[in-house]
Structure 1
């Protein structure tokens, strides 16, 4: 009986987690919006089956309010332009093989000029569908009406039922990335005190290179989160949240590049010291401890970046400060030990120096002062770009003290 209750609780927990998944939310919202658009179009359109309305609503409703507004406007624009082109060609030449080719060519060219971006093919599709139907004039205007109904329903759906903010999903992705980097560093540290085959060191290097794919996935989640913060009435200081997350990911991306270089340095050491430890025995434990501190620092940084509550942020900042202090203290000890080794046995001095330099780069990127400067630079850049893009609005906001 206890096993059944445990399984039931686990199943409920999984269902609640799926309820917050962007794919599940998008599926439910799109289905509801398309159904509502079809019902409205049945009342307003003369077509017996006005499927253009639910189709447009299905395409307009996106995960975030910002993308819905921008996508809806461009999609309506593309469909209306395609219908107008079809009306013009039907009046002049009708439907033949060469007029169809001209319609497609004109639609694709005009679509570039009206700036519908990724919906340029939609212009040609709309034109072909309308051109191939009898009673083109009536059908064309019914199609325009259905398109407007679908777009309006999609826009109102996301305005009245504001989509959720996906910052939590992006934050989890950033924290997972920092933990994967931590596991890689810990794995590298465990191999320092043993004879490491070149193949194993090369495998660590390939693992470090695969972090690029992880960063691309996190970047996609972060872009969705940034869109969910734009024009969302639920969010205050959306710009600041976007900059905090974006600069945090940029820092982790730089650290991933340095980590890849560090793995390459250790691979070169494995080639040069095939019958020995990667680093001398008296230094191995200290270097392993140093990499462990750097690994913990990466996780503390990921937690700090994704923490929004002030009390939790203060605690995360204190943890990061302590980790950085401990890492730098161990780093200085490792530098002294490596210096003694190099003076006694200078064979791989350049690789030992590169190892320390790469650790220094990671610690410098995670430094709180460096992060504060980076945030201020990004805020200044956004403010400057906004003033240049909308000078009158910016002047009015300054005059009003906003």
Structure 2
């Protein structure tokens, strides 16, 4: 008995996502679609309000700003498509192939004016429907524009009225994770400075440090989504300070990521077995652990800026570091570690 596998393009992973859309989003989309349907019927009772329902369905987005953008895209696409269809219909009235001309002209119109995919795809669809369905119906094109505007407006209104989402939780989480991983990377480097390392250990240390870059990119993307969720959001005043705190912390962490990767790279590239005999290396390791300690304090002070610090929450990276002259072959490594450590301290304590 033979079994056949579905092509990769038809596998369930191509059809399903790792997480569901929030239930609130589903409720808002349903309410907006139903409201657009009935309002359009009251205003234009002659036709089923398909355009209004589709507009509302597409306009409800995770943020108010995105909904507003989709409403503009949808409206511009429908209006342009209706105008193109009307002009071509006047020139080639009664011809069945005029629909193909309208589709091609609409696609080229979107390309020439560099329209977004939402608008560019809507233009040929609107033109095709106007010529195929409404060619014999007077006023059909104007009615469809009004219908689309009703659906788009209701989509934005419903998204504003029903608990506009604020996506600051993921931003706060990702920035906190980045802070913790930065501190762990400094502690791993401090531990490596005091013990002999194999090539495999050095490579593993470098790989772990490089993973900081995608974590930083993820945190930056989450912060951008947080900013997007507050744009045009009636609830933005209550959350703006929180977003600014997250943004300031990420701005401080971003150069530290570069420094930590650079320190790890210098240790990886300039390591030799005689390094463990350097008397000043343990002093640098101590400072790295203090820097890790102070990095973790950044998230605590951001979450509770007015709280009294405990003994463990007092910054430790304060004492000046004195270096005994290293062996000549280690000068480059020591200089690199010291300079990056100095800049990390400046970012942590907020020095200019």
Scaled by the length of structure 1, what TM-score is found?
Answer: 0.71
Q: How does 1:107-256 map to 2 (within 5 A)?
A: 107-109=110-112, 111-112=113-114, 119-135=119-135, 138-236=139-237, 241-256=242-257
Alignment partner, residue 362 of structure 1: 344
Alignment partner, residue 352 of structure 1: 334
Q: 2:306 aligns with which of 310, 314, 328?
A: 314
Contact 2:164-2:235 at 8 Å conserved across structures: no
User: Which is richer in helix?
Assistant: 1
List gaps (5 residues or longer) in structure 2. 1-18
1:105 aligns with 2:104: no
Structure 2: distance between partners of 1:153 and 1:186: 54
Contact 2:63-2:229 at 8 Å conserved across structures: yes
Q: Which digits, 9 at most, give the CA deviation of each residue in 1:350-385, with x for residues without a partner?
A: 111111111111111222344xxxxxxxxxxxxxxx
Count of residue correspondences: 329
Structure 2: distance between partners of 1:163 and 1:215: 27
Structure 2: distance between partners of 1:316 and 1:80: 60
- For the structure 1 residues 284 and 159, does the alpha-carbon distance in structure 2 shift closer, same or farther, using more than 3 Å as the test? same
Structure 2: distance between partners of 1:316 and 1:85: 67
1:304 aligns with 2:296: no
Q: Which digits, 9 at most, give the CA deviation of each residue in 1:12-63, with x for residues without a partner?
A: xxxxxxx9x9745434433432343334344444476533323212221222
Structure 2: distance between partners of 1:351 and 1:148: 65
Alignment partner, residue 54 of structure 1: 53
Deviation at 1:157, TM superposition (A): 0.6
Structure 1: distance between partners of 2:243 and 2:312: 21
Task: Name the SS of the counterpart of 1:347 in structure 2.
Answer: helix
Q: How does 1:33-72 map to 2 (within 5 A)?
A: 33-46=32-45, 49-72=48-71
Contact 1:178-1:252 at 8 Å conserved across structures: yes
Structure 2: distance between partners of 1:179 and 1:22: 29
Alignment partner, residue 328 of structure 1: 318
Task: Name the SS of the counterpart of 1:194 in structure 2.
Answer: coil
Alignment partner, residue 74 of structure 2: 75
Aligned Cα root-mean-square deviation (Å): 3.2
List gaps (5 residues or longer) in structure 1. 1-18, 371-402
Alignment partner, residue 92 of structure 1: 91
Task: Name the SS of the counterpart of 2:61 in structure 1.
Answer: coil
Structure 2: distance between partners of 1:327 and 1:79: 61
Alignment partner, residue 14 of structure 1: none
Contact 2:134-2:141 at 8 Å conserved across structures: no
Structure 2: distance between partners of 1:151 and 1:320: 54
Deviation at 1:83, TM superposition (A): 1.8
Contact 1:107-1:127 at 8 Å conserved across structures: no
Contact 1:77-1:116 at 8 Å conserved across structures: no
Deviation at 1:196, TM superposition (A): 1.2
Deviation at 1:320, TM superposition (A): 10
Deviation at 1:263, TM superposition (A): 1.1
- For the structure 1 residues 32 and 269, does the alpha-carbon distance in structure 2 shift closer, same or farther, using more than 3 Å as the test? farther
- For the structure 1 residues 76 and 202, does the alpha-carbon distance in structure 2 shift closer, same or farther, using more than 3 Å as the test? same
